[in-house]
Chains A and B, each alone.
Chain A
Amino acid sequence: MIRSEVLKEIAPVISDQLVVCNIGIPSQELHMIDDQPSNFYMLGTMGLASSIGFGLAMVQNKKVIAIDGDGSVLTNLGTLPTIANNKADNFILLIIDNGSYGSTGDQPTYAGMNTSLTEVARACGCENVVECDAADTKKELEKALAGSQKTIIVCKCESGNVKVPVITMDPVVIRDRFMKQVSAS
């Protein structure tokens, strides 16, 4: 399974959840598969999806899912100790780990070589870290959503992209409709 197939499978599970999605093709794929006002698409700033999602989770009670990639987590590795050492049991970090920088042409990442992000997350002090095959992502995500524990899911999948259009929505529109979903009762 490649990332777009994973996103297609989990779309029904995350459609009514607050989702912060990684820059580039992941956001474009999610936007094409199931655009929702509760999706915050990152148009720039590689690496910060987990930080934005975690900041959001810390200040309010709704569940927040940050969809990140292996390359982006490697870019902002300092995010894992911050997540490990601060309280937000409504936070789920889904790392779609395809072992490559998908948005730039599938150059290999170190996560696809000797580095295990699962072990890195654990070593940073994250307590509830689950590594799964791509096909089990939906099940693991449902489990995390049903629970009440900060969770990191590392989904191991194959690299590759589908052809997707860029997101042309204005960033302020993305932010405004997302914030309305955050504050909706």
Chain B
Amino acid sequence: MSIDKKIVADLVANDVGFVTTVPCKQLAGVIDAIDKSPDILHVPSNKEDEGMGLCAGAFMGGTRPAIIMQNTAIGVTINTLVTLTQYYRMPLPMLISYRGELGEPVACQVEMAVHTKALLAQLNIPTYHFHHEDDAKELDAILKHTFMCNKPVAILTDATFWKGY
């Protein structure tokens, strides 16, 4: 099974039925597989905080949500994560493309990469980092953990994990 298909299979196996995405080159294959999945309603959003609003609504409607975004979005969504997702105690798996790590060709991406884990730690967001393909074996457990504890949870996936750009 390709890594894209494995990720979508784990989402479906954990009853994730609503996924919002902001485009990303590295996550394009996953986003495409989500779009094709008959078990997932895929709604692209224009900005990540908007997407988190959609996810909050989907969750309250009885459907488990997830968001796919880049790590730059942590900067965009801090207020939403704190005053919506965390304040109302809602689960939200965040599958994140961790730009600015080893192999990154765009210098500016490193500027946000150096803040990513510090910001997530400051927000008390459980954070997992996929570096090798084998790390994705934990995704199923991470999703179960997320919906057990009703928290936003970050899954950072770097360029090495995606085998380069």
Q: Are A and B associated in one complex?
A: yes
**Cα(A157)–Cα(B130), bound, Å:** 52
User: How near does chain A come to B31, taking the closest CB pair, in angstroms?
Assistant: 16
Q: State whether the Cβ of A134 lies closer than 8 Å to any Cβ in chain B.
A: no
**Cα(A174)–Cα(B49), bound, Å:** 21
Q: State whether the Cβ of B54 lies closer than 8 Å to any Cβ in chain A.
A: yes
B80 touches A48 (CB 8 A): yes
A54 touches B57 (CB 8 A): yes
Instruction: Count residues on chain A whose CB falls below 8 Å from chain B CBs.
Output: 34
Q: State whether the Cβ of A172 lies closer than 8 Å to any Cβ in chain B.
A: yes
Main secondary structure of the interface of A (DSSP, over half): helix
User: How near does chain B come to A100, taking the closest CB pair, in angstroms?
Assistant: 22
Task: Kindly specify which of A38-46, A111-119, A140-148 makes contact with the partner chain.
Answer: A38-46
Instruction: Count residues on chain B whose CB falls below 8 Å from chain A CBs.
Output: 33
Which residue of chain A has its CB nearest to the CB of B55? Answer: A55
Chain A residues, CB < 8 A from B58: 55-56, 58-59
Which residue of chain B has its CB nearest to the CB of A179? Answer: B60
B50 touches A48 (CB 8 A): yes
Chain A residues, CB < 8 A from B41: 58-59
A172 touches B54 (CB 8 A): no
A40 touches B50 (CB 8 A): no
Q: State whether the Cβ of B160 lies closer than 8 Å to any Cβ in chain A.
A: no
Please give the residue numbers on chain A whose beta carbons come within 8 Å of chain B beta carbons, in ascending order.
20, 40, 42-45, 47-60, 76, 78-79, 81-82, 86, 171-172, 174-175, 178-179, 182-183
Q: Could you list 12 A-B pairs, sorted by A, with CB under 8 Å?
A: A45-B49, A45-B80, A45-B83, A55-B55, A58-B43, A59-B18, A59-B61, A79-B46, A82-B45, A82-B54, A172-B88, A178-B60
